[in-house]
Structure 1
Amino acid sequence: MTVHFSKSFLKDIQKIGDHNLKIRVKEVILSLESTRDIFEIKETKKLKGYPNAYRIRISDYRLGFFIVNQVVILKRFVKRNDIYKVFP
């Protein structure tokens, strides 16, 4: 799959100070690029009520993204208690 990054996602990543967390995000992005089925990636869930919205759990953070025509659009990467306030 092709992966695109939104401006808000890039800002969220810049705010993260934990180097190990950034490495885990990079690993998930590489997995997204190489997978054919999104549910092969651990901790992936589809959001109810939104046809193309998904999230992946990475530690205490959630990565919110959309899939449109085999293109993954990464929208947000925020703490678990904030993800549903800002995404979708």
Structure 2
Amino acid sequence: MEIRRKSVAGTLESSDVLVEIEPGRGVTVELESVVTAQFGALIEKTVREVLKGFAVENASLRVVDRGALDCTIRARVETAIKRAAAEEEK
């Protein structure tokens, strides 16, 4: 899936995650989290799994986690991808 423009999903509320995605070269993930030491690798793995599932090969992501569950992270990444890949209305 081609990322056509920048999009955002989620919030900075407790137990949520903010995902920003935009076109890029290759896949880069910048992670900010209060639990990076314990769960940073798992959060990044989850993000990359969702990207792979949508066949996203070129994107730059910024993920700001506030203690979100895995299912929330997956949903926010999926929403950001779909918004960024959608055709603009004319």
TM tier relative to shorter chain: 0.3 to 0.5
Q: Please identify which structure carries the higher strand content.
A: 1
Structure with the larger RCO, 1 or 2 (CA within 8 Å, 6+ apart): 2
TM-score (norm 1): 0.33
Normalising by structure 2, what TM-score? Answer: 0.32
